[in-house]
Structure formats: C-alpha cells, structure tokens
A and B are shown apart, each in its own frame.
Chain A
C-alpha cells in the first residue's frame, strides 16, 4: 500500500540478495513484536474483557466494575447509540468522498503537471504536508473562529441573504463535515500523489494514440494506475475520521446535535466512567471499520498491506 507516501524522498529500490534465513531476524523482530503484542494486542483483549464487565453490586461505586460475562453491554450500546454510529459513518463517508474529489486534481497537478519543475513540485509537496506540523487542535479552533457567528464570513453571508438572520455555521453537521474534510485532505492527497508521481506517461500517450478521448484515457488508464494511492488515501481518511471526536465536539466545530461515536466513547469513559459501555462501543466501532476495510482491500486486490 502507498502508506509509504510518508517516506518523503523515494529512492528507487535495487535488487536485493535472496532473503536469508537466520537467527539475526529473530533478534531484529523480537523487540517490536513483543512491544506491539503488549501495547496493541493486549489492550484489545483488555477491551473485550472490560466490555463484558458488570457493576460491582456488592461494593457499589462509580467506575467500579467486576468481571462477569455480561453481553448485555453490547445490546445496550447497540440500541442506545445506533443512530450515532450511523451518523459517524455518514459524516466520515461524505468527508472521505469530498476529500477524494478535492485531493485528486491537486495530487494530479503536483505529481504529473509539475514533473518538469522539481523545485516547484517539492515546494507544493511541503505545502500539502504543512498542516501536519501545526497543532491539529489549534487549526480546528482557527476555523471555529473564522466561521464564528460574529465573524465576517457569517455576517457577510447574512447580508447577501445566503444565510438567514442569526444563522450559525459552527455546530452544524455541515461544519463538522467541513472540518473532517479539511483535516484529512493531506492524508488523502499524499498517497494519491505518490501513485501519480510514478505514473508512466507513455501509457497515457498510448491511449491518445489509439484515439481514446481524454475522459476514456483517464478512466481506463490514469485512474486504474493510481488506484493504490486512492485506496490508501481513502483508508487513511475514512478510518480516523469515523473515530474522530474533536471536530464533532461542541467545544470545536460541532454541537450536541452532531455527536459522533468517538464523543460517546470518550464521554462514557471520562464523564460517566461507564467503562464497560465505552469498551463495548470501541469493539463495535473496530469491527464495523474492519469489515468494510477487509472488503475494500479484497475488491481492490491491494493485498500488499504495507
């Protein structure tokens, strides 16, 4: 997968000696495998265990739970939060599509049109990744200030009659989707750029030579060849966007009407200290994300995961 887009400078791979079997490999892999087992796999097991806990009735206190086998937690979160789960996937699906539509032409321009100008290409690439280096929370708060009710954009739109009097942009679903789209455009654009940068233009010329019109050439040649980038970009946007709770939070771009599943996981964990519900929702979110991811990867045949 084109996650390697993050590698920055891409040196071409050279032929390697055949892979050897050696004890050295064990020593190279052991620290990482042990580390990820302890800090990635074990917490998932912990989530499952926690999601089956029940309140400690003998010694009742807020945030106190004992081991049980209470699958009722899943039934509870499923009935209670299903609309919110649906909303999360809805918002993040729309944001993913928008980010793709906005990023593809940008990535095409930087990866193909700017090829003859390496300096400009490098500069454009730095601008695409520039948001990574500025605090995500401060950038989101900047949008909140720009689209504030008393800001010149909202008042201007009110004067033009686009918005009614006393209208809000902050706190609306549209604003949350805007925030998600904005925040994940670099994650979408970068992998697509990597795919398009390697695109052999002779294939495109061949399409034209064979009397294909530009649209056909794009759909039959350019797009399929850049598909690995589109797949990685889509995953890198959709997965974090559906779990995000900053954009949708009332403190940032959302309101109580835009609650996403991440907000509920964090609220049940921190405010209610209802750890079993929080864990059950996390497992639910994880499963719901992995199913489309697995199908998507199977359909696009991008089985080379890393």
Chain B
C-alpha cells in the first residue's frame, strides 16, 4: 500500500521534469507550447539561439565562482564550529541560520536597496557576491557533518610523524573532508544555477539562465532552453548516482575489512 503510494508521488514529482525533457525533442516552430513531432533539431542546433547560450554561460560562470568561494568560506567555518571554542557561538549560529530563514524576496530587495544606496553598478559581479552569501550556510551544514565524523587521531598521527600543518591539511584533512565538500559544491551549484528571485534584484542588465526563462516566458521560450536544462539535469543525476555508488562501494569495502 505505502509502496504504491510512494511510487505514485515520486512519479508525479517527475512529471514536469519529463515534460521539459520531452519538449526539448519537439520539432522547431514558432513556440514550444504544442507538440509537433519528434526531432533532434533542437539538440543539434543547441547553439542557434545566441541569447540562450549567453545566459547559460553566465549561469555556469556565476555558479562555479560562487560555489568555489562559498565552499572555501563555509568549510573554514565548519571546521571552526567542530574543533574550536570561541565566544559568540550562539551569535554565529544565528548568523548562519538567518539567511536560510529569510525569504528570498527579502534577501533580494535588501541587496538591491544596498547596491542602490551605495551607488554600486549591478552586473555579473554583484550576482556572484549575492550567490556566495546564500550558499555559505548550506556549505557549513553539509561539511560540518563530515568534520564531525573525522577521527582526530588520524591527524594527530600525522603531526606525530613531523608533518607540517600544511601537510596535515593537504594530505590528511582535506582528502578526508572531500566527500562532504563535493556534496556541498553540488548543492551550492544547484542553488546558484537555479536562483531567480535574488538574481532579479542584483543583476542589472546581466542575464542568467533563469532570468532569461522568466523574461522569455512572456513571449515564447525557445526549445534550446529545454535542451540546456535537460543537459544540466542529466549531468547532475549522473554525478549524484556516481556519488551514491561510490559511497555504497566504500561502505561495502569497510564492511568486508572491518
């Protein structure tokens, strides 16, 4: 019973995803709203619409830069939270929690007002600055779980063998934290790549992929947008599947050896 229910709900969750992918194979026409027949034209002509390509490239650049910076800042905070004692711990927890508990439209209009009050021009740079902000908290949560699962004795062994702090970090700590950092990066990139609301307030004339779709929705969305979205989706699913399989293999190996 519960199984059937779960299958139905999961299938419903996937309906709009399937719809988007199916319509990436629609025969090109004036709009992509009605089904005209199967074709690969949109996939082979993926670069035909310059504006879609430009918006997609902007989103990739923003996502990668924001993810890397947020991962560095967030990992440092995660390590400090698990390993060190410091004053204002509650204050810091609140500072990390609040960005997640603030509606996006408030974050966006706040950043927009600030840029306006300071007279800063909006563009790709300000989008990146905003995206780093809302990714940090998610990185901290994700990486902190990993730091907490790390046996400090391993690093101690490294220090006992006269490894420098840099060597301990790069040879021991960082590789052990890597699965957590990779998960955090995947999450950050997904959040950044799909963000529309905050981006709208801080982007000026710069156009990201979601912003392009929002603007185009008033007229007609070219099928190439579906192609790009499908590619990102399939890529992410492959990455997540790979991560899960690797984790499963690690667990089985540990079970065999332990």
Contacts and interface: CB of A to CB of B under 8 A. Distances in A.
Interface of A: 1, 3-4, 6-14, 16-17, 19-22, 24-26, 28-29, 31-33, 35-37, 39-44, 46-47, 49-50, 102, 105-106, 108-110, 113, 118-119, 122, 124-143, 145-146, 148, 182, 185-186, 235-236, 239-240, 242-246, 251-252, 261-262, 265-266, 269-270, 275, 278-279, 282-283, 285-286, 289-290, 293, 305-306
A185 B212 CA distance: 26
Contact of A22 (B84, B200, B213): B84
Contacts, number: 308
Contacts of A10: 145
Which secondary structure characterizes the binding site on chain A?
Answer: helix
A240 B135 CA distance: 15
8 contacts: A4-B142, A43-B113, A43-B114, A46-B117, A49-B117, A137-B213, A141-B213, A262-B197
B19 to A, nearest CB: 4
B2 to A, nearest CB: 5
A269 B110 contact: no
Contacts of B166: none
A8 B137 CA distance: 15
Contact of B133 (A1, A12, A14, A35): A35
A210 to B, nearest CB: 24
B200 to A, nearest CB: 7
Interface of B: 2-3, 5-6, 9-10, 12-17, 19-20, 23, 33, 72-74, 76-77, 79-80, 82-86, 92-107, 109-114, 116-117, 129-130, 132-133, 136-138, 140-142, 144-146, 148-152, 179-180, 183-184, 186-187, 190, 194, 196-197, 200-201, 209-210, 213-214, 217-218, 221, 225-226, 229, 232-233, 236-237, 240-241, 243-244, 247-248
Contacts of A119: 248
Contact of B214 (A131, A137, A286): A137
Contact of B105 (A33, A262, A305): A262
A141 B221 contact: yes
Please provide the 4 A-B residue pairs with the shortest distance between their CB atoms, ordered closest to farther: A243-B103, A43-B110, A25-B84, A142-B16
Contacts of A266: 105, 109, 200
A199 B72 CA distance: 33
A32 B73 CA distance: 5
Contact of B149 (A14, A128, A132, A141): A14
Nearest to B213: A137
Which secondary structure characterizes the binding site on chain B?
Answer: helix
A219 B109 CA distance: 42
B233 to A, nearest CB: 5
A235 B184 CA distance: 21
B144 A29 contact: no
A39 B133 contact: yes
A244 B106 CA distance: 10
Given A137-B210, A139-B17, A269-B201, A20 B83 contact: yes
A239 B197 CA distance: 14
A255 B119 CA distance: 35
Contacts of B209: 135
B81 to A, nearest CB: 8
A22 B87 CA distance: 11
A305 B146 CA distance: 18
Nearest to A262: B105
A146 to B, nearest CB: 7
Given A43-B110, A43-B114, A46-B113, A135 B20 contact: yes
Contact of A286 (B103, B236, B240): B103
Given A8-B186, A124-B10, A239-B101, 16 more contacts: A7-B141, A8-B183, A26-B86, A35-B73, A36-B99, A43-B113, A46-B113, A47-B110, A109-B2, A122-B248, A124-B6, A126-B237, A134-B232, A136-B196, A136-B210, A140-B16
B204 to A, nearest CB: 12
Nearest to B176: A11
Nearest to A260: B105
A306 B96 contact: yes
B102 A102 contact: no
